[in-house]
Amino acid sequence: MKKFSKDYHDYVFREGKLVGEFEAMYQNSEGVPWHQDEQEEWVDVRLTSEMLKDIGPYDEIHDLGCGLGHYLALMKSRVGADNCRCVGYDISETACVKAKQAWPEFDFFQLDLTISANPQSAIRNPQSAIRNPQSAIRNPQSANCLLFAGRFGMFFPSLIS
């Protein structure tokens, strides 16, 4: 039987190279990868939420690369409207299942942007990325806050219905 590492780093980088075994990482690592559950006071997270507060509150928040959903939940509490719909997308099905267990009121979908859409175009033109029929976003025109991998958020007035 193969022994699996419990250190999440081993699934991301190996011998100085990106391996990106995110499904195995969420299945086997101990603890919460990237300390997703400890980011509330991180400077970049605080800056993002302060910038987004100026335009919010948001009716919908979509997080690409949501991991276990901690950042999505944090942003909902800081910039979401009372009935804010939260949707997370991650390359790892296991991450989505675990996130749904933690936040059953949110929607989570497995999405690989490297297959479903060009990740660079997702940043330059988020409408084309989230309109991809494989992405499971039901009504992209209603989304007005898009988060990328738990690090920053963008406001898209053209997406507001």
Domain limits, the chain: 43-159
Q: Which CATH class for the 43-159 domain?
A: alpha beta
Half-sphere exposure of 139 (CA within 13 A, CB side): 9
Strands 107-110 and 80-90 turn out to be parallel
43's tokens: 């400077």
Q: What is the predicted pLDDT for the residue at 37?
A: 81
pLDDT averaged over 10-residue windows placed end to end, the chain, 161 residues? 71 81 86 81 82 83 90 92 91 95 95 63 44 40 56 49 38
Q: What is the predicted pLDDT for the residue at 94?
A: 95
Contact indicator for 148, 65 with CB cutoff of 8 Å: yes
Please report which residue ranges of 6-141 form alpha helices under DSSP H: 9-12, 22-28, 43-53, 70-79, 93-102, 113-116, 119-124, 126-130
Q: What is the predicted pLDDT for the residue at 105?
A: 97
Looking at the whole model, is its pTM more than 0.85? Answer: no
- Omega into 57 within 30° of 0, i.e. cis? yes
Q: What is the predicted pLDDT for the residue at 92?
A: 93
| Sign of the Cα pseudo-torsion (140, 158, 52, 39, in order) | positive
Q: What is the predicted pLDDT for the residue at 18?
A: 80
